[in-house]
Amino acid sequence: ENYNKGGRQPTFGVGEKRVVKGARDMGDVIVETNNVWSVFGTRWSWIFLPSSLLPFSFFSFSLLSLLSLFMPSRSLNLCITLFFSSLRYKWEREGEKNRHEELLLKKSGLNS
């Protein structure tokens, strides 16, 4: 499949669930959208990230590419794995926080 590599930002409906094929070792990930998600094209697949994580991911990625100049390939592979797992952890935490806020909003809506 040929994707547009132009960094497009699709806006999905609130609470809409999409199944996204993650990087090879991540398997299928269900993404609950509640803001604009930025799409990153990788060689294998598309990785969806909340827009609030963009500064973090760009900083980490530039640091990683700097390190890659001085590292053997095995260490580089380890770094790339760590980079994606830290992104995924941050991304899941962000999702938990958003779901918690939505629950609080629903509860306050019921009480009033």
Tell me the average pLDDT of the chain.
Answer: 58
Q: What percent of the chain has pLDDT over 70?
A: 29
When pLDDT is averaged across residues 82-93 and rounded to a whole number, the result is: 75
- Sorted by sequence, the CB contacts under 8 Å of residue 54 that are 6+ apart come out as 38
Residue 30, pLDDT > 60, answer no
pLDDT band at 55 (very low <50, low <70, confident <90, very high): low
Is the pTM of the predicted complex or chain greater than 0.75?
no
